[in-house]
Amino acid sequence: MPRPIKDKYAIAAALQEIGTRLELKGGEYFKARAYKSGARSIAEISEDLGKVIKENRLTFVKGIGYALAKQIEQLYTTGESSMLNELRAHMPPRFVNVALFHLVGRNRTRQQFLHVFKIGVQIFRVR
């Protein structure tokens, strides 16, 4: 069973991963952007994150809405995020790393990236 995540940077990294996976999944651009923005907000928060969560003030932090606050609370208290677990189940981590390399490292267009994504999904289905 995972341990609670008390480090704000670890929580920010998990939110960033959710945003990246939503972006790679496609069709979730604004949601992905919200998670990435929320990750930056959590990393930059100057107050103790545990105190903010206990006082139910997460939604007062710029860039944190109700859905995002729920994921942060899950990560803080249980060490897991239901959304991240669901996204990881649909997209293997090795593929995400390869996809990010092709997206960022090779300056591919979105259409080229989607083509690489479809090929990658087919390869994982075969194996």
50 and 12, same domain (yes or no): yes
115 and 77, same domain (yes or no): no
pLDDT digit string (tens) for 20-78?
Answer: 888 878 778 899 899 989 998 998 899 999 999 999 999 999 989 999 999 999 999 99
Q: Per the confidence metrics, is the pTM higher than 0.85? A: no
pLDDT band at 98 (very low <50, low <70, confident <90, very high): low
65 and 116, same domain (yes or no): no
pLDDT band at 95 (very low <50, low <70, confident <90, very high): low
Q: What is the 3-state secondary structure (H, E, C) of the chain?
A: CCCCCCCHHHHHHHHHHHHHHHHHHCCCHHHHHHHHHHHHHHHHCCCCHHHHHHCCCHHHCCCCCHHHHHHHHHHHHHCCCHHHHHHHHHCCHHHHHHHHHHHHHCCCCHHHHHHHHHHHHHHHHHC
61: domain range? 1-88
Which pLDDT does position 125 carry in this prediction?
Answer: 39
71 and 36, same domain (yes or no): yes
Nearest to 89 by CA among 2, 16, 25, 13: 25
pLDDT digit string (tens) for 103-114?
Answer: 444 444 455 555
- What is the CATH number for 7? 1.10.150.110
Number of domains present in the structure of the chain: 2
More confident residue, 123 or 68: 68
48 and 9, same domain (yes or no): yes
